């Protein structure tokens, strides 16, 4: 009788092990709690970040130097430092009259029939912190023959979607005063073009 009970116990032991294994798998499939999700978030101090995002985050997908909106910032800052930008700020935001002769020596955004200018958009909670934003100078477009604005066409902004990083407060309970970085996509105006006006029928 004792031998039969021992054999029965030995035969039931693999079933118990199998049951424990299944329970372990089910436990692993449960959603993590809020605490464990927060513990996986990387948080930084202000000294760690500074004006630039951490180098380990800037992989191939974050090659901001390829974007015109990033490349133009040092040039715009140089113009602003030299005083040329200040003079332009005092000029009225009006559609310029284009001259074919002078246009040959100008930049593309100045000799376009939908001309635009650039301004620096700065956001302390964004990486890159500074981006060059295009602003259309005309509501219509410039007639190539007369050099004057015509309302037969409309100027509209061209946008490019840029991946940026946003600074957010650290969600961890022990992260008071720390920040984390979140991926965001923003539409950056990079130029202007001419389109047919919308007409109501």
Residue 23 has pLDDT above 70, yes or no: no
Widest distance between CA atoms in the chain: 113
Count of residues making up the chain:
201
pTM reported for the whole predicted model: 0.69
List phi, psi (to 5°) of 114.
-125, 70
Given this model, what pLDDT does residue 88 score? 52
Cβ proximity of 172 and 39 under 8 Å: yes
What does the pLDDT read at residue 59?
A: 59
Question: How many other C-beta atoms can be found within 10 angstroms of the C-beta atom of residue 34?
Answer: 9
pLDDT tens digit string along 99-139? 766 655 678 888 899 999 999 999 999 999 999 999 999 99
Q: Report the pLDDT value the prediction gives residue 100, as an integer from 0 to 100.
A: 64
Cβ neighbours for 62, distance < 8 A, ≥ 6 positions apart: 53, 163, 165
SS3 of the chain: CHHHHHHHHHHHHHHHHHHHHHHHHHHHCCCCCHHHHHHCCCCECHHHHCCCCCHHHCCHHHCHHHCHHHHHHHHHHHHHHHCHHHHHHHCCCCCCCCCHHHHCCCCHHHHCCCCEEEEEEECCCEECCEEEEEEECCCCEECCCCCCEECCCEEEEEEEEEEEEEEEECCCCCCCCCEEEEEEEEEEEEEEEEECCCCCC
Integer Cα distance of 193 and 114 in angstroms: 5
Tens of pLDDT, residues 151-191:
999 999 999 999 999 999 988 777 678 888 899 999 999 99
């Amino acid at each position: 009788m004792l031998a039969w009970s021992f054999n029965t116990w030995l035969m039931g032991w693999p079933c118990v092990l199998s049951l424990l294994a299944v329970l372990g798998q089910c436990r692993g499939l449960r959603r993590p709690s809020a605490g464990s999700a927060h513990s996986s978030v990387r948080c930084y101090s202000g000294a760690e970040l500074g004006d630039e995002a951490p180098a380990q985050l800037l992989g191939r997908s974050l090659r901001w130097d390829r974007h015109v909106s990033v490349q133009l910032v040092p040039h715009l800052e140089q113009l602003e430092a030299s005083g040329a930008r200040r003079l332009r700020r005092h000029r009225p935001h009006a559609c310029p009259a284009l001259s074919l002769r002078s246009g040959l020596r100008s930049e593309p955004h100045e000799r376009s029939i939908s001309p635009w200018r650039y301004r620096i958009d700065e956001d302390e909670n964004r990486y890159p912190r500074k981006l060059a934003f295009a602003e259309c100078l005309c509501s219509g477009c410039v007639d190539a023959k007369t050099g004057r604005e015509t309302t037969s066409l409309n100027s509209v902004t061209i946008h490019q979607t840029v991946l940026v990083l946003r600074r957010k407060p650290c969600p961890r309970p022990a992260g008071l005063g720390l920040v984390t970085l979140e991926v965001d996509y923003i539409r950056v105006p990079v130029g202007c073009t001419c389109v047919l006006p919308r007409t109501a029928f």
